[in-house]
Structure formats: C-alpha cells, structure tokens
Amino acid sequence: MITDELLSIEPQELQFPFELKKQISCSLQLRNKSDNYVAFKVKTTNPKKYCVRPNTGVVLPRLSCDVIVTMQAQKEMPLDMQCKDKFLLQSVITSPGATAKDITPEMFNKEAGHEVEECKLRVVYVAPPGPPSPVREESEEGSSPRASVSDNGNFSTSEQSAVSRSNVQRPQPEDNSPEAKALISKLTEEKNSAVQQNRQLQKELELLRHHSSRSRGGIPFIYTILVALVGIILGYLMKRT
C-alpha cells in the first residue's frame, strides 16, 4: 500500500544545494499521524553516495522524528544539474513500547502479510545560495566617498583626489628606532643653525640699510655747502666789478 496514513513526510523531495567537493545535507521530518507506534526504514538507489541517519527508527504516537540525509562530496558536476537517485521510505505499525533495536527486515516484508506504507522521494539539485549583497555604509554627514573603478580599470579624477586626501590625512606610524632618532637630532641641529644664520643675515641687512640711509642724507648737505661757496665767490666778483 502506498499511502500516508501513518506518517506525513516533509518535504516531499530531497533538495541539495549542489557544490563540488563538499558534503551537503538536508533533513526530512516524519510525523506520526496515528495513535500507534510506527517503525520506519529509509532505502536509496545509491547507498554509496548518501548517508542516512537514522535509517531506521520508531516514531511515537502523535510525535515527530527528523532524518538527516547527507550527500558525499562529488568530484564532477552533474549533467544539466539533473539527478536520477531515488529514496524509498517504508513505515509499518509496531508493538507499543518498541524501539529501534526491535526493528527487523522481516517487519517490512509485504509478502509476509505485513501492511507496509511506502513513499518515494526524488532528489533535486538546486543552485547554492549566492553571497550576500554588500551594504552601503553611510557616514554621519551622508554617504561616505567610495572609490569605484571605471570600465577601463582606472579611478576617476574625483576618486583619485579623495584617495590622495585620505592618504595625506592618515597619521603615519612613529618610528622609535635609533636610526630615526639620530636623523631627527641631526635635522634639529641643522634647523637651529639655519635659524641663527638667518638672524645674522638680518642684522647685517639692517646695518647696510642704516649706512645707505646716512649716505643718502649727506648728499643734500654737501650740495648746500657748494651752493653757498659759489654764491660767496659770485658776490665777491660782482663787488670788484
């Protein structure tokens, strides 16, 4: 008999998100719809490819049982993602208080007069879930600038400037090595020497400016003396004439 009076099975097909070289599992839930103890057994057309745990068991009245089916890692991609493997789940009423240890192959022998329920399940390969879509991070003032690559693989001008600013503003790690300390000390001495030389040059420049102003101030005085002397001589000559 092929009915579902004893056990309800969810889902009705085994779906595996196929990936090469990776074990993949899916689960079946068996729910006992009757008031009897129900024994079950799981068979497959390809036992070397699948591992079923548990493959036999007893479901108590009105309770459920989970069965895990694991497909071994596959080395080749199936043609058109199709699979011809099948599973058969058999169930039969057993005596109250029975356990998995009490299950025998004879219990599922229909020729011996046992009423056995059977449910065929097919295997379906589905595409594995894709990676999650990236979430755009927002800054406090709005969208933060992000560098994107153009079709030719280069950054745009605005993106290059943004990257440059980020590189300039990024604090550089301190180097406390002896070579760095010696270099800093040498640069400090050179800076102090340059400052002193600058001050000395400023003093000399001030002196030059002072002498130059005095020289420019003496020219009108000499010119006045010469004019006075010329005036005296002219006056003297005019008196004689």
How high is the pLDDT of residue 8? 95
Q: How far apart are CA 14 and CA 83, in angstroms?
A: 11
Per-residue pLDDT tens over the stretch 90-131: 999 999 999 999 999 999 999 888 999 999 999 999 988 777
Residues for the chain: how many in total?
241
Residue with tokens 């005095």: 214
Tens of pLDDT along 143-172? 544 544 444 455 455 555 554 555 545 555
pLDDT for the residue 20: 92
pLDDT bin (cut points 50, 70, 90) of residue 241 is low
Q: What are the tokens at 198?
A: 């600058």
The answer to whether the CB of 54 falls within 8 A of the CB of 69 is no
| 165 burial type by CB count under 10 A (0-12 exposed, 13-18 middle, 19+ buried) | exposed
Q: List the structure tokens of 231.
A: 């005036």
Q: List pLDDT tens digits, range 170-190.
A: 555 555 677 778 888 888 888
Instruction: Tell me what pLDDT residue 67 has.
Output: 98
Given pLDDT bands bounded at 50, 70 and 90, which one contains residue 138?
A: low
Which residues, in sequence order, are CB contacts of 89 under 8 Å at separation 6+? 7, 9, 28, 30, 40, 41, 42, 43, 118, 119, 121
* Nearby residues of 165 by Cβ (< 8 Å), 6 or more positions away: none
Q: Of 84-98, 129-143, 161-175, 209-223, which range is least confident?
A: 161-175
Residue 132 has pLDDT above 90, yes or no: no
pLDDT given for residue 46 in this prediction: 96
| Mean pLDDT value across the chain | 80
pTM of the model: 0.53
Of 12-21, 48-57, 129-138, the range with the lowest mean pLDDT is 129-138
HSE (side-chain half, CA atoms, 13 Å) at 34: 16
Q: In Å, what is the CA distance from 5 to each residue of 14, 18, 65, 88, 95?
A: 21, 33, 16, 16, 17
Q: Which two tokens stand for residue 157?
A: 């001008």
pLDDT of residue 87: 97
Whether 217 has a pLDDT exceeding 60, the answer reads: no
> 224-235: per-residue pLDDT in tens?
677 777 777 776
**Separation of alpha carbons 123 and 152, rounded Å:** 45
Can you give the pLDDT at residue 163?
A: 47
Q: What is the pLDDT of residue 204?
A: 78
